[in-house]
Each structure stands twice: as structure tokens, then as C-alpha cells.
Amino acid sequence: MTRIGILLFDGVEELDAVGPWEILGMWAHRHPQEAQVVAFADRPGPIRGAKGLQFLVEHGKDDVGPLDVLVHPGGSGIRPLLKSREHLEWLRSCSEQTGLMTSVCTGALVFAAAGLLLGRPATTHWMSLDLLTEVDPTVVVRYEHRFVDDGNIITSAGVSAGIDMALHLVKRLASPERAKEIRLSVQYDPEPPV
Amino acid sequence: MTRIGILLFDGVEELDAVGPWEILGMWAHRHPQEAQVVAFADRPGPIRGAKGLQFLVEHGKDDVGPLDVLVHPGGSGIRPLLKSREHLEWLRSCSEQTGLMTSVCTGALVFAAAGLLLGRPATTHWMSLDLLTEVDPTVVVRYEHRFVDDGNIITSAGVSAGIDMALHLVKRLASPERAKEIRLSVQYDPEPPV
């Protein structure tokens, strides 16, 4: 049983969080013996996304319980997190207890600010790739990757890339067949019309 | 200014709603003079998605105000809606006042139950295509389409197809250039890993 926590915070980019939520939640829904997914925030209560959608979060960091995987989305709300000693401390301690730290979009900047990406390959939203090396010049930026799996840390490109990263998670933690099943369930045969 | 309402209800499939929310919300965020997006439900308050994510909705049907576009997601929560005389009545009256009715996934079944798809081409989640013709045998089912634009009604395939449909909306209501800009903003260069 893999226990996955998706972190929400004010200013979280909605699809950064809900893309992985849908993929991983579908996995947990269809195979509850394999995975469990929980959304959590600093503390329980309302959270407002970067585009104004409100979530009602039931769990805080204190009561979310042990996690095997953390999903850290991005969004304009990361700006205060980059400077929050408390959040960066929490991330470091989380990385010691959680087997797998994953980020979507500018979530990677917060990982970098916490010192989690020292000398490691990573990616982020294409508009923030330069900022990633500003936050930590030792990061080996992968410009062309949809996501970068570096063992116990996976970082993704911008917003919608979290969907691909989450499918990769299902593939890695369960099997390619399971990931294909989830892909079919959400009919993920993208055809961008422009 | 295009005013777009995204309907939430208990059992809404999370990505059905948040895929279009992200695309259309990004459009409204970058060009507030062109579009406004609002989430609403039967009445204000908490809404629980099909995979357990909770939303806190600020507007109800009564106070959402006039809409130019409705987005009706799907999800397991459509089952009671298919039999709700009140909801189907509301949809019919909404279709008279709203220029453009759009659905994602099994939202098309609710449109069909309301009689909005009589003799018209439409699509839905691939697992519900047969059910769509059961609900209304006159629907001309488009099996191979990501979304079907039939003028004042657009229906989409399953879950993730709402992202493509929403980009098409931006293209149709603004311009292909605007849709490309939004696609770039959410880095929508999908690469399913399975």
C-alpha cells in the first residue's frame, strides 16, 4: 500500500494539484489495496488556488500521517514558501521520512530552496528554468524533459506535466499495465487543438 | 467579455472540472477584459468530488448571474442528476439563456437526458458511448472525436478531454493565437509515459 499526500497551499496552481490527484486518485479508487491518496495543507480549512478555485482541506501537516510519496505542486503561492524557514525545514524532515518526493511545475523551486536538489538533475515550468539555477546553481537543469526521475526525487515541467509524472508514478510503483489502465480510465489521448 | 460558469456537484470527476478551469482560468487571469470564469453549484458550500477532493463553492445557481458559456462536467455524481427533474429543467432553461452549452465526459448524458442533444452529434467518455444512445437514441454518436463542436453545444470525450475542449473554446471565442498562448502557459505538451 502506497500512501500519497498532495500538498495544497494558498496560490497553488489548480491543475498542478488536480492533475496528479485525478491520476493517483483513480488508481486508489480502482485498487484501494495498492494506493491511498490524501490532500493536505498547513492546517485543515479553506485553500484558494492561484486562479481562484477554493478547496476545503480536511488534513493538516500534523495529522496527515506517514507518507510514502509527497506531491508538491507549484503556482504563484510558492513565493512565500521559498522564504518560509518553517516550510523548508518541514520539507527537509519530510524528505527524510518520505521515500519519494515529487514536484509539479514551480514546486521544484521550493525543493531547490530546501536544498533537496543539490547537484541533482531536475526540471520545472519552462519559464522558471533560469530561476531554478538561481535558487540553486548546482542543479543540473533538464530543459527538454517532461519530468525527471532521479530516484527518490522526481520533478516535473509546468502545470499539465503533473499528469504525465503521475502516470509515470503509477508505472513505477505498480506496473506499466496499471498505468495503461489508469490512462484509459481518464481517456488520456491528448489532442491539443492548437 | 465572455462569462463562463463551471458547474460543480457532489461526485463531480475532479479533472473534468479542473482541466477546463485551469485553461479558462488562465485565459481570464491573463486577459481579464476577455473572459471571466466562475465555479458554482446548486448552492454555496462544500462539494465532494468523485475521488474525494473537496471544493468550497461560493456561488449557487441562484446567484451565479448570467453566463455566456456553461461547462457541465461528468463523474459518478451525474447518476442522481439524470433523474432530477429540477436539474434537467434548469439545464433546459439555462440552454435558452446561455449561448454555449459544453460538457465534459459523462456530462453529455445529462445534456441528453434534458433533451438538448435530440438528433445532434455528440460524444462522451468511451465507456459511456452506448449509454448515451440509450438515454437518447437520436444522438449521432461520434466515436472517434476528442470533442464535438455542434454550434451552440460542445460535448467532450472522457475526463482529460475537457482540457482539449477548453483550448478549443479559447480558440473559438478569442483566437488560435490566444489558445496557443494559454497552451504555452500550462506547458501542455503531453507525453503519456505509457
CB-based contact A159 B194, cutoff 8 Å: no
Position A158 confidence tier, pLDDT thresholds 50, 70, 90? very high
Tens digits of per-residue pLDDT, B119-151?
999 999 999 999 999 999 999 999 999 999 999
Mean pLDDT of A17-36: 98
Position A31 confidence tier, pLDDT thresholds 50, 70, 90? very high
Q: Which residue of A has its CA nearest to B168?
A: A193
Q: What is the largest CA-CA distance in chain B?
A: 44
Position B190 in a domain: no
What is the C-alpha end-to-end distance of chain B, expressed in Å? 40
Per DSSP, A79 falls in state: H
Position B193 in a domain: no
What's the total number of domains in chain B? 1
Separation between Cα atoms, residue B187 and residue A10, nearest integer Å? 21
Mean pLDDT of B40-56: 98
**Set of chain B residues whose Cβ sits within 8 Å of the Cβ of A25:** 14, 51-53
B166's CB contacts (< 8 A; 6+ apart) are B19, B20, B22, B23, B24, B71
**Set of chain B residues whose Cβ sits within 8 Å of the Cβ of A192:** 164, 167, 183, 188-190
Position B93 in a domain: yes
Tens digits of per-residue pLDDT, B169-192?
999 999 999 999 999 999 999 999
Amino acid at A124: T
Position A44 confidence tier, pLDDT thresholds 50, 70, 90? very high
**Kind and range of the H or E element at A23?**
helix A14-30
Q: Tell me, what's the pLDDT at A186?
A: 98
Position A176 confidence tier, pLDDT thresholds 50, 70, 90? very high
Contact A28, A37 (CB under 8 A): yes
Q: What is the largest CA-CA distance in chain A?
A: 44
Position B77 in a domain: yes
Residue B22 has its nearest CB partner, among A15, A157, A179, at A15
Tens digits of per-residue pLDDT, B11-39?
999 999 999 999 999 999 999 999 999 99
Mean pLDDT of A94-109: 96
**Set of chain B residues whose Cβ sits within 8 Å of the Cβ of A157:** 187, 189
Position A192 in a domain: no
Separation between Cα atoms, residue B42 and residue B63, nearest integer Å? 10
Residue A160 has its nearest CB partner, among B58, B179, B190, at B190
Q: What is the pTM of this model?
A: 0.98
Q: Tell me, what's the pLDDT at A63?
A: 96
Q: Tell me, what's the pLDDT at B33?
A: 98
Tens digits of per-residue pLDDT, A142-156?
999 999 999 999 999
Mean pLDDT over the full length of chain A: 98
- ipTM of the complex in this document: 0.98
Q: Tell me, what's the pLDDT at B31?
A: 98
CB-side neighbour CA atoms (13 Å) of B86: 3
Position A38 confidence tier, pLDDT thresholds 50, 70, 90? very high
Q: Tell me, what's the pLDDT at B120?
A: 98
Mean pLDDT of A158-173: 98
| Residue located via cell numbers 463531480 | B12
Q: Does A56 touch chain B (CB under 8 A)?
A: yes
Q: What are phi and psi of A50, to 5 degrees?
A: -60, -30
Tens digits of per-residue pLDDT, A52-92?
999 999 999 999 999 999 999 999 999 999 999 999 999 99
Contact B13, B50 (CB under 8 A): yes
State yes or no: is B94 an active-site residue. no
Q: Tell me, what's the pLDDT at B182?
A: 98
Q: Tell me, what's the pLDDT at A46?
A: 98
Q: Tell me, what's the pLDDT at A73?
A: 98
How far are the Cα atoms of A56, A112, B11, B56, B58 from residue B47, in angstroms, in the given order?
A: 9, 35, 8, 6, 11
Mean pLDDT of A111-128: 98
Write the DSSP assignment of chain B as a string of letters: -EEEEEE--TT--HHHHHHHHHHHHHHHHH-TTTEEEEEEESSSEEEE-TTS-EEEE-EETTTS---SEEEE--STTHHHHHT-HHHHHHHHHHHHH-SEEEE-TTHHHHHHHTTTTTT-EE---GGGHHHHHHH-TT-EE-TT-SEEE-SSEEEE-STTHHHHHHHHHHHHHT-HHHHHHHHHHTT-------
Domain that holds residue A172: 2-185
Separation between Cα atoms, residue B87 and residue B132, nearest integer Å? 18
CA distance A122 to chain B (A): 16
Q: Indicate which CATH number applies to the domain containing A177.
A: 3.40.50.880
